[in-house]
Chain A
């Protein structure tokens, strides 16, 4: 059994949840992973301060795509201010796999683009280890 490429990661990569376009939407953003040129966009619809719905779009590796897919299921329904404050540990625990330092940005790209959409600033999330 591979540590990184577990079945649920590959499953989310091949059939990502909440990918595509969201029309209409209130917020959107776009980010790049400078390591490989991967890109990820997000469109968010808000209602009563919560993320009512969202879609990711773009292309990337199994880790970045699966992370976005898995995160999307948690993010829908979450208060926007809570979502904007999510840190790297939240994402890494959600994935539950060992991520090497070089692949960390792959795993965190979806959280970065989410922050960009919600706060206007796309900063890399940090965690307890940073």
Chain B
């Protein structure tokens, strides 16, 4: 069946891609770690600092009102981009910060002995360690859903866990940063809610590469981060249910999150500011606003199709190589733009070092997912991951660089 090519070529928008190393062009295949930034985001950051810099929320002079409008305007567009509402779209530093907000403000006041939190074997450490600490602090149990040989979760196992009746929260990643698996989050939310459990979704890998509608998914908490979605570092997002946020105590306390303060006690600002203590990441939020504008212009369905095609091509080319093992679902339909792999006889660290000499940037690590590494029976993998600015020639460069690395270790 002939398919319409979804191939994008937006390389010209990303100045860093013009960098060369010994005459070799930059082949950036580490977007799951952090994405590159388009000119439009860099311009928004520069414009804010050059022309509109002032603190927000208190200034009455015109400059402060401009900064305020830019910041809150970015929140509105960011919320709209993922189907959320501004009032329940909280700026955090990153996903780790967002999950810790829930683990401290919600979990520590709602969990007790006899309760359980259910996570999965494919979680990033940011969606494991906060739950280890929160369950230890409250006496609740922490249980895991398995990842099968195809890199998928089992809804039957989810049902069996929920049937035990003690699960208060299911915390699961939308897209795995190692396997690429796209999890059926709507179905997970439906089943968890039917069993009376809340759901938190780590959308760090999902929001940058596919259309996400947090309202449609219906999770109680949905976290993602700006720097993986073409935005600056230092700004993340937590979308959450309004009534839960109203009932939760503040996470961090201090300036900007209060309604009034007396010597003895304080009352809390309204949402979302109740959860945004201290001066916010103003420039970064404005930069992320420009990033979602850019992504919306490309169209997230087109970004998804582009990365799906790149992933399919990468899987096809990589599996032609001798001595390679790839991880995750076999079909690109079930996975995001990431391919983890292991080469026989060459440690991932050495793979990344040798590829780096060809100016091919891949990650070699446990990817902050050590329980998953243990399940896969490896200490680490090499990982190539894509952004909208990658093209098929980048996959060709990856394959050529791997072949060269294999020759060194032959």
Contact = CB atoms under 8 A, between A and B. Distances in A.
B408 to A, nearest CB: 5
A120 to B, nearest CB: 25
Given A2-B408, A4-B353, A10-B408, A37 B365 contact: yes
Nearest to B364: A36
Most chain A CB atoms below 10 A, which of B350, B353, B408: B350
Contacts of A62: 346-347, 349-350, 409
Interface string B314-357: 00000000000000000000000000000001111110011000
B370 A61 contact: no
Given A4-B353, A5-B354, A62-B350, A37 B379 contact: yes
Interface in A89-127: 103, 106
B75 interface: no
B63 interface: no
Given A10-B408, A10-B409, A35 B365 contact: yes
A37 B349 contact: no
Nearest to A38: B379
Interface size class of B (residues with CB under 8 A): 10 to 19
Interface in B342-393: 345-350, 353-354, 364-366, 370, 373, 379-380
Contacts of A103: 349, 353
Interface in B279-299: none
A39 interface: yes
Contact of A5 (B345, B365, B379, B408): B408
A48 to B, nearest CB: 37
A36 B383 CA distance: 13
A4 B357 CA distance: 11
B350 A5 contact: yes
Interface in A24-38: 35-38
B380 A38 contact: yes
Contacts of A37: 365-366, 370, 373, 379-380
Contacts of A63: 349-350
A61 B366 contact: no
A15 interface: no
Nearest to A39: B379
B373 to A, nearest CB: 6
Contact of B347 (A2, A4, A39, A61): A61
Contact of A36 (B345, B366, B409): B366
Contacts of B364: 36
Nearest to A4: B353
B271 to A, nearest CB: 38
Contacts of B345: 14
14 contacts: A10-B408, A10-B409, A36-B364, A37-B366, A37-B380, A38-B380, A59-B379, A60-B349, A60-B379, A61-B348, A61-B349, A63-B350, A65-B347, A103-B353
Interface of B: 345-350, 353-354, 364-366, 370, 373, 379-380, 408-409
Interface of A: 2, 4-5, 10, 14, 35-39, 59-63, 65, 103, 106
Given A37-B373, A62-B350, A103-B349, 12 more contacts: A4-B353, A10-B409, A14-B345, A36-B366, A37-B366, A38-B379, A60-B347, A60-B379, A62-B409, A63-B349, A63-B350, A106-B349
Question: Which 9 A-B pairs rank lowest in CB-CB distance, beginning with the nearest?
Answer: A61-B349, A61-B347, A37-B366, A37-B379, A36-B380, A62-B350, A61-B350, A5-B408, A37-B380
